[in-house]
Structure 1
Amino acid sequence: MTRRPLATTGVALAAVLGLALTGCADRPGAGASAAPSVRATAAKPAADAAGELTAAIGRLNEQSMRIKLESAVLTASGVADPPARTMQATLTMAAFGEVSTLVIGADTWVRFDGALGERLSGGSKKWLHMATGTGVMPVDDPGGVKKLLSAVVEVRHAGDRSYAGTLDYTRAGVDARSLAGAGDKAKALPFTAAVDAEGRLTRFEMDMTPINATLGRMTASYSDFGAQVRLSRPAAADTEEAPPAIAQAFSGAGS
């Protein structure tokens, strides 16, 4: 597998691939363990903000939802139904094209388009099949925020159903080489979060500028809770097995 495209997009792409994501249809590609506790600082009791945010993120595993990601590097949208273990996402990178992902139970498929596909899959237009694993697109962590929660250093109330704090991005499972030039700046990235009246996370925004000013802010949004998700498997003629390196990078399988 050629690693250059991932290195070119830098740390934001590594984060974005962990936020796998809108579309609900009857066609292919359309349509965890408990999170660690975090320290809280606030006018309210310290445990409140941390506990509320942890619970709000945990509720993302309770029902289906629509997910949207926005960043300077790419945009993404999709649907996820964690209880049914299904998810679909399309990631669009201006420099490299699209990556379509599909998860149904124990199976994951990825399809590349554009320059990234030429480099990673030799220009194949087929769905690359692999076992569903715990890599950058785990179905039990739609949007990747549960993984980010493990990196939160402190969190406080910042208004009605909103929170602010900092996280240590070196604890978020990102390749250390991607953060080599960031130093201690990567250990104190500001973030904000919001929940709805039902206590579900609706928005998580991380400021990546301390690492690199061109990366800007990365936002994951959650909406349409309970939306119907109908996904179907690609036809056998349109699939092939993913090379081990791609399976390892995208699902944690194939190692």
Structure 2
Amino acid sequence: MTIRRFSAAVFAATLLTPGLAACTSTGTGEAGVSASPTTSASASSGATGAVDSDAKQALLNSTNAIRTGNFRFTMAGAGSTAEGQVHEPSQSAEMRVMIGDASSDLMMKLDLIHAKPDSWVKLELGGTAASSVPGVRQLNLGKYQHLDQNRIKGNRALGFDFEAVDPAGSAVLTQGITEVRQTGEGSYAGTLDVSKAAQAGSLDPSVITALGQQAQSVPFTAKLDPQGRLSELVVRIPAAGQRAAQDIKITYSDYGNATAARKPPADQVVEAPPEFYNLFD
């Protein structure tokens, strides 16, 4: 079994990849989406729905703080989770990813650390199909594997781009708002056109393709903190073809309070073997 485009920063590519998603999917997940949005009194009509300009601007502005690169985040969907922090002042980031569990065909845990110019990952593979992964004995080492930057250069599946610090790409997503209304203090609901959001880390481009016309009107909800910063974004991906419906939930917290990632101790580091890079091709 291989995992196409698995990503530390773009883990949803694995969440929604046929095969592994079938092993871990629990339907629409725990993240909820409110009833279909309706047009607000102050909204102006458009070809694809209605947009409350004030609500849309609030959501666009809410992603500005993310670009400063100092926050903690989570992403969840299809029985998989990721959490971590970005600390751009020290050019470092870290993420912990869990996909599936011991009862899944394939369970994967990753503990990733980026401290420019280096990256490390501790990998654990389990599940009933783990033994079929090529080189599994060289991968389950219980140590951090140092990554060759020349091998991962330009590969968003393994690297971290400190020029685009948001693992989920929420700014890209909010730019695709086609319909929105405010549902409460700091709460919003509407639809997104994700057909142009292939660069958003929370969506696999192949999922967008599979959605077809549905990609132009995907429901979402959002919450802002008291300072107007994005604290939660839930995107409900409808079923398409063999892919089950999925809710992708993204959260942000501790703006300005993240800390520099701690590099792994030298005695806990080995160089990543060829089998590791092959797994993520």
1:58-97 aligned at under 5 Å gives the runs 58-62=64-68, 64-94=70-100, 95=104, 96-97=107-108
Is contact 1:86-1:103 (8 Å) kept?
Answer: yes
Distance 1:208 1:48, change over 3 A: same
Computing the radius of gyration over CA atoms, which structure comes out larger, 1 or 2?
2
Deviations 1:3-61 (A, max 9, x none): 4696xxxx9831869xxxxxxxxxxxxxxxxxxxxxxx754474322221111112113
SS in structure 2 opposite 1:219? strand
Q: Does 1:51 align with 2:93?
A: no
Deviates more, 1:138-147 or 1:188-197: 138-147
SS in structure 1 opposite 2:263? coil
> Runs of 5+ in structure 1 lacking a partner?
18-40, 251-255
Partner residue, 2:191: 166
Q: How many residue pairs align between the two structures? A: 223
Is contact 1:82-1:142 (8 Å) kept?
Answer: no
Distance 1:114 1:166, change over 3 A: same
The alpha carbon displacement at 1:130 in A equals: 4.4
Is contact 2:86-2:258 (8 Å) kept?
Answer: no
Amino acid at match of 1:109: W
SS in structure 2 opposite 1:77? strand
The alpha carbon displacement at 1:190 in A equals: 0.5
Is contact 1:78-1:88 (8 Å) kept?
Answer: yes
Measured in 2, the distance between the counterparts of 1:227 and 1:185 equals 38
Q: Does 1:2 align with 2:33?
A: no
Deviations 1:70-110 (A, max 9, x none): 22230122122234332111111113221222122333333
Amino acid at match of 1:113: E
SS in structure 2 opposite 1:114? strand
Deviates more, 1:192-201 or 1:137-146: 137-146
One of 242, 249, 253 as aligned partner of 1:219: 249
The alpha carbon displacement at 1:195 in A equals: 0.6
Measured in 2, the distance between the counterparts of 1:152 and 1:111 equals 37
> Runs of 5+ in structure 2 lacking a partner?
17-38, 44-51
Q: Does 1:102 align with 2:113?
A: yes
Question: Kindly, what percent of the aligned residue pairs are identical?
Answer: 25
Partner residue, 2:182: 157
Measured in 2, the distance between the counterparts of 1:232 and 1:12 equals 22
